[in-house]
Amino acid sequence: MSHHDDHSNQSSGTASLPGNGTYGAAFTRSVEDPEGFWLEATERIDWETKPTRALDDSRAPVYRWFPDGVLNTCYNAVDRHVEAGNGDRTAIIYDSAVLGLQESITYAQLQEQVAGFAGALAAAGVGKGDRVLIYLPMIPQAAIAMLAIARLGAVHSVVFGGFAPKELAVRIDDCQPTVVVTASGGVEPKRRIEYLPAVADAIGMAGHTPGTVLVHERDGFEHTVAEMQAAAEQGSMGVNWKSWAEAVADSDPADCVPVAATDPLYVLYTSGTTGTPKGVVRDNGGHATALAWSMENIYNVAPGEVMATASDVGWVVGHSYIVYGPLIAGATTVIYEGKPVGTPDAGAFWRLIQDHKVRSFFTAPTALRAIRRQDPEGELVEDYDISSLRALYVAGERLDPETWSWAGQVLGVPVVDHWWQTETGWAIAGNPMGLEALELKSGSPTVPIPGYQVEILDPLGDPVARGEEGNIAVKLPLPPGTLATLWGNDQRFIDSYLTAFDGYYATGDSGLMDQDGYVYVMGRTDDVINVSGHRLSTGHMEQVLSSHPKVAECAVIGVADDLKGQRPSGYVVLKAGIETDEDRVTQELVAMVRNQIGAVADLKHIAVVDALPKTRSGKILRKTMRQIADGVEAPVPSTIEDPAVLEAISSVLRPQN
């Protein structure tokens, strides 16, 4: 028996499937007859040309789903519901806690607004396959813009409104948009963030110049479209700044453009371990099919029911479960402009559930920890009628057992931890509540979802025994709806995800599978950290710190944080022989990271140290530093160059816990 066969009965993922058989049967079929399983799943979608084949493996390991299918994603999310006589059903509820207003948009109204904005985009030169970059806050226009771009068969790239101009410029250069869509600004509980100067700066920095910037004008902001247009003309930038409303008034509504199932719907950038962001490409057909399947089988939401996802359209969760998933399913989605606490208090989410009769609510562990910090006994829940709620879904980072049990006790509904990535677009592991509600286990996102053959591998790529920790990998091909490639770079896609273990997608996470087939995710295996559900590269932060003229070398590690899951902590060695005010340097470094990566990086703690612990080959011992900072008993690595250096830095690291 070879080493591979040794654990086959334990690690295949189908050996001992939990549940009464509904989940097990679906999972087994997805593995043994993926062709039949996924072609059947396409019945939830309206096609211009129905696919007759599920998987195209002619260019493996780059796979494509439904190669002969033709459809339009916007038609599936909007028009088909109107044509079926459900135009008066609510599509979007906009709830702005920061502005104190609520608005409802029906499917018929949404169709009119999306077609109108698609016409404005078409008039600005956007056609099938062109890219449009979106930089918007949490307002209905974000969903309308995404759908309008999909309507034209074009490709959107949404950039979170908290990113700095430099980050925006990098993305403009990578996807080369024809148009940028933005708004006057974003409203935070205590301040307003002006977007227009940031967009203008980014366009100035970028090598590629978009032809048009369309601006949704909001009240109460300083900078205007007219001012930006005048500045562009003066600086001969060649960019046409125009207000959203005027652009729509000056053009005719546009119809849906059919595209191949394999054509790209969007590019979404995720932190790479190097400074260049990776543009995850999502296709049209696999994406629509997978999201429709997940709405029914994971989130248990039927047409006309309400799902609220407290995330941002700038992240994958917002793409999948604020915009596309609920609307493709014909459900009602809530766009929430506010925070879990402070708008006005820690009862904000419970108010949302009561006001909009939310059935499935989705948020990140960070939000629950923030609520628990302010309202430890969960007393505010008693002020609201949350009887519509059937389950709370949590994803974005590890859900600690304390927060999991607290939320379950306070809300009296199942708290469903599930695990996925920007790259996968929907859950790798979860509790398929609509298919079969399985037993929940603390610390586990339950089981692999049908289509995902999850295995735990040792460093050589061999499966480990149940209960042993290793690299979490998914057997190829990945199911529909996952990343097709990286924008403009198949080779980088293969190198980043498909070469670590032959025949597998490497998730970059480590974890284990228990005897019952439940998955446990322990953490990242690389240097991408998770701050409040935002994946950020510590390597990228290090690049910024090391660019300071007084810094000799540096390390940034992710330290465990009760509220945010992880927070970055920086350690710098200053150049010798320079007269330096250490406090001033650390303040400058904090400001540099904020300016170059954005407030989202949240690097506030930087310590000046004499030296960094290294291996003899010169590699900084980041993992050991992280263990000390987290208060974990860490063995001194045998490869260490100078144990005294580790001893010295330990005193700086320890208080960080």
pLDDT > 90: what percent of the chain? Answer: 73
Contact 334, 389 (CB under 8 A): no
Q: From CA 113, how far away is CA 458, in angstroms rounded?
A: 52
- Mean pLDDT score across all residues of the chain: 91
Domain ranges of the chain: 3-73+264-524, 107-260, 528-656
Cα dihedral 542, 545, 549, 550 in deg (nearest 10): -100
Contact (Cβ atoms closer than 8 angstroms) between residue 295 and residue 400: no
Across the range 514-519, mean pLDDT stands at: 96
**Mind spelling out the 3-state secondary structure of 360-409?**
EEEECHHHHHHHHHHCCCCHHHHHCCCCCCCEEEECCCCCCHHHHHHHHH
Structure tokens at 46: 């309206």
Q: Are 196 and 228 in contact (CB under 8 A)?
A: yes
Amino acid in position 15: A
Range scoring the smallest mean pLDDT among 9-13, 36-40, 377-381: 9-13
pLDDT at 49: 98
Residues ≥6 apart with Cβ < 8 Å to 652: 571, 607, 609
Question: Pick from 405, 311, 369: which is nearest to 563 by CA?
Answer: 369
Averaged pLDDT for residues 369-398: 93
Q: Are 285 and 51 in contact (CB under 8 A)?
A: yes
pLDDT digits 0-9 by tens, 20-69: 789 999 999 999 999 999 999 999 999 999 999 999 999 999 999 999 99
Structure letter (DSSP) for residue 481: T
pLDDT in tens, 188-208: 998 999 999 999 999 999 999
State yes or no: pLDDT of 246 exceeds 60: yes
Output the pTM of the full model: 0.85
pLDDT, mean of residues 555-565:
89
**Would you place residue 4 in the very low, low, confident or very high pLDDT band (cuts 50, 70, 90)?**
very low
Q: Residue 144 pLDDT more than 50?
A: yes
3-class secondary structure, 160: coil
Residues linked to residue 399 through DSSP beta bridges, in sequence order:
none
pLDDT of residue 618: 59
Long-range contacts of 5-8, Cβ-Cβ distance < 8 Å, separation of 24 or more: 7/462, 7/463, 7/464, 7/465, 7/466, 8/463
pLDDT in the model for residue 6: 37
The answer to whether the CB of 336 falls within 8 A of the CB of 89 is no
**Residues linked to residue 192 through DSSP beta bridges, in sequence order:** 187
- For residue 293, pLDDT beyond 90: yes
pLDDT for residue 275: 58
Q: How far apart are CA 298 and CA 26, in angstroms?
A: 13
Q: Is the pLDDT of residue 245 over 90?
A: yes
Q: Does domain 528-656 have CATH number 3.30.2230.10?
A: no
- Among the ranges given (11-15, 451-455, 511-515, 641-645), the one the predictor scored with the smallest mean pLDDT: 11-15
626 pLDDT above the threshold of 50: yes
Average pLDDT score over residue span 477-492:
96
Alpha-carbon distances of 583 from 354, 498, 550, rounded to whole Å? 48, 44, 13
Give the pLDDT confidence score for residue 18 in this predicted structure: 82
pLDDT tens digits, 416-437: 999 999 999 999 999 999 999 9
Q: What is residue 137's predicted lDDT score, i.e. its pLDDT?
A: 96
**Spatial separation of the C-alpha atoms in residues 632 and 522, rounded to whole Å:** 14
Torsion of CA 345, 347, 352, 358, to 10 degrees: 160
Cβ–Cβ under 8 Å, residues 517 and 445: no
Question: What does the block give as tokens for 231?
Answer: 């500045």
Q: Are 185 and 192 in contact (CB under 8 A)?
A: yes
**Phi then psi dihedrals of residue 172, to 5 deg:** -60, -45
Q: Is the separation of the CB atoms in 607 and 570 below 8 Å?
A: yes
Contacts of 442 (CB under 8 A, 6+ apart): 401, 404, 405
Contact 150, 317 (CB under 8 A): no
pLDDT band at 563 (very low <50, low <70, confident <90, very high): confident
Alpha carbon distance 657, 655 (integer Å): 5
Q: Which two tokens stand for residue 448?
A: 């692999």
Residue 276 pLDDT > 80: no
Higher-confidence residue: 12 or 129?
Answer: 129
CATH class of 3-73+264-524: alpha beta
| pLDDT category of residue 655 using cuts at 50, 70 and 90 | low
| pLDDT exceeds cutoff 60 at 10 | no
**Helix, strand, or coil (residue 183):** strand
Q: Strand, coil or helix: what is 281?
A: strand
The CATH T-level fold of domain 107-260 is Rossmann fold (3.40.50)
E strand segments, 384-499 = 391-394, 415-417, 429-430, 447-448, 454-457, 470-475, 485-486
Of all residues in the chain, the percent with pLDDT exceeding 70 is 94
Tokens linked to 325 = 């998933």
What backbone phi and psi angles, to 5 degrees, belong to 510?
-110, 155
What digits encode the pLDDT tens for the residues 576-622? Answer: 777 789 999 999 999 999 998 888 888 999 999 998 998 755 568 88
In the numeric block, the tokens 């330096």 are attached to 580
Cα 395 to Cα 426: distance, rounded to the nearest angstrom: 11
Rounded CA separation 46/48 (Å): 7
544, 578, 615, 622, 642 from 607: Cα distances, Å: 15, 17, 21, 15, 20
**Token pair listed for 168:** 């925006």
Is the fold of 107-260 the same as that of 528-656?
no
